[in-house]
Amino acid sequence: MSILLAIEPESAIAAWETRLRALLPGHALARPRTLADRSGVSYALSWRHAPGALAGLPNLKAIFSLGAGVDHMFDDPLLPDAPIIRVVDKDLTNRMSEWIVLHALLHLRQQRLYDRRQADRHWEEDLGQPAARDIRIGVMGLGVLGRDAAKKLQIIGFDVAGWSHGKKRLPRVACFHGAAGLDAMLARTDMLVALLPLTAETRGILNARLFAKLARNGRLGGPILINAGRGGLQVDKDIAAALDSGALKAASLDVFEKEPPPEDSPLWRDPRVFVTPHCAALNEPGAVARAIAAQIRTFERGGKLKNVVDRAKGY
Ligand code: NDP
Ligand code: OXD
C-alpha cells in the first residue's frame, strides 16, 4: 500500500516525503518517475502533476490536492475517477481574509496616493475619506474563503454582498446567485472581490463586459477589482484597458492569466494596480500534511473522506 507523490516541481517531493514518513510510517512512498508497482498505489498527492501521471493505478482510493484550488487536476485528460480531496484549512482561510481586508483598506484609504505624497515630501491630511460603511463590496464566491472574507470585511464596516452558484443565506450579507443574480450584485458594487474557483463556467468571467456592469455612483470615484481566486478568471488585457478607460479605477491582483505575467504586461507598472505573486494565502505544508494523514487514517478505519470535490461542478 503506497502513496504516490505526483508533485511538480519534482524538487519539492523530498520535503513531502519527510513529512509523510513521520506522519504515516506504515505507508510506502513513491515517485511517478520511479514507480514500479502501479497496483500497490492506494493514494496520490497531486500538485500540477504531469498529465497521465495518475493513470493506470487500479487500486487508487483517493487523490489529495496540495492546494485549495483543484483546477490544476482537470488539465489532465487521463485523470482517474477516484475521489479528489482539496485543502480546507483555517490558517489558509485566515491568511486569505487578511490579504482581502488589507487590499480593501489600501484602496479605501488611498494608500498609493499617500505613498506618492511621501515620496514628494508633500503633507496634506485630508484627501476626502469615505467611511467603510459607504463602500459596497461584492464578493464573487461564497465558499470557505469568500464567506470568511465577507465576514471580516463586515467587521471593518463595509457594506457586503456576495454571489454564489446556489442560493445562500448569510447574516447581514446581501446574497445573490446564478446569472441573473450576478448583474444585480454588480450594479451595487464599488469593490469587486473575486474568490471563485477556476472552472469552465468561471474562466474569463472578469472581463470588459462585466466591468461595464459595476456601479458608477460609488464614493471611490470608480470601481475597484480585487482578484485572489485564479488568474484564469480574469482577462488581463481587459483589466489594463478598463483602467485606461476609467471602467476600473484601480485593482489588486494576486493572480494572473500567466504567472508571472509577461515582462511587458502594463499591469506590472501601472501605479493603480497592486501586484502580489500568488501569495495571498500560502499553504502551511506541515498543516496540509497533517490533514492528509488524518484523512487517510480515518478512511482506513472506515470513516468518510472530507472536503471532496464535486467533479461535475469542477470545484
Ligand atoms: P469553495 O469551493 O469553498 O467555494 C467556491 C465558491 O464559488 C462557492 O461559493 C461556489 O458557489 C462559487 N462558485 C463556483 N462556481 C460558480 C459559478 N459558476 N457561479 C457562481 N458562483 C460560483 O472554494 P474556496 O472558497 O475554498 O476557494 C476559492 C478559490 O480560491 C480556490 O478555488 C482557488 O482557486 C483560490 N485560492 C487562491 C489562493 C491564493 O493564494 N491566491 C489560495 C487558496 C485558494 P456554491 O457555494 O453555490 O457552490
Ligand atoms: C491554492 C493556491 O489553491 O495556493 O491553494 O492557489
Q: Is the beta carbon of 231 within 6 A of some atom in ligand 1? A: no
Q: What is the pLDDT of residue 149?
A: 98
- Please provide residue 253's backbone torsions phi and psi, each rounded to the nearest 5 degrees: -130, 120
Helix/strand/coil for 62: strand
Which residues have a catalytic role annotated?
A: 230, 278
Pocket of ligand 2 (CB under 6 A): 67-69, 87, 283
What's the CA-to-centroid distance between 142 and ligand 1, angstroms?
A: 7
What's the CA-to-centroid distance between 163 and ligand 2, angstroms?
A: 21
14, three cell numbers? 523530498
The arithmetic mean of pLDDT across residues 115-119, rounded, is 95
Residue keyed to cell 494596480: 273
pTM over 0.95: yes
CA dist., res. 202 & res. 195, Å (int)? 11
The arithmetic mean of pLDDT across residues 48-62, rounded, is 97
Average pLDDT, the chain: 97
Q: What is the pLDDT of residue 211?
A: 98
What's the CA-to-centroid distance between 133 and ligand 1, angstroms?
A: 26
Helix/strand/coil for 286: helix
What's the CA-to-centroid distance between 11 and ligand 1, angstroms?
A: 29
- Tell me: the pLDDT tens digits for 233-288? 999 999 999 999 999 999 999 999 999 999 999 999 999 999 999 999 999 999 99
Ligand 2 pocket test target in 283, 284, 288 with most atoms within 8 Å of CB: 283
The ligand with the least distance to the CA atom of 255 is: 1
- Tell me: the pLDDT tens digits for 149-167? 999 999 999 999 999 999 9
191-194 and 28-30 strand pairing: unpaired
Q: Is the pLDDT assigned to residue 126 strictly greater than 80? A: no
Helix (H) or strand (E) holding 2: strand 2-7
CB 120: neighbour CB atoms within 10 A? 8
CB 40: neighbour CB atoms within 10 A? 15
Q: Is the pLDDT assigned to residue 1 strictly greater than 90? A: no
Give exposure, 44-60, as e/b (b: 16+ Cβ within 10 Å): bbbbebeeebbeebeeb
Q: What is the pLDDT of residue 128?
A: 84
Q: Locate the ligand 1 atom nearest the alpha carbon of residue 283 and give its number.
A: 42
Q: Locate the ligand 2 atom nearest the alpha carbon of residue 67 and give its number.
A: 5
The arithmetic mean of pLDDT across residues 160-189, rounded, is 97
The arithmetic mean of pLDDT across residues 63-89, rounded, is 97
Q: Is the beta carbon of 69 within 6 A of some atom in ligand 1? A: yes
Residue nearest to atom 30 of ligand 1 (CA): 229
What is the chain's alpha carbon radius of gyration, rounded to the nearest angstrom?
22
Q: What is the pLDDT of residue 125?
A: 83
Q: Is the beta carbon of 266 within 6 A of some atom in ligand 1? A: no
State percent of the chain over pLDDT 90: 97
What's the CA-to-centroid distance between 217 and ligand 2, angstroms?
A: 34
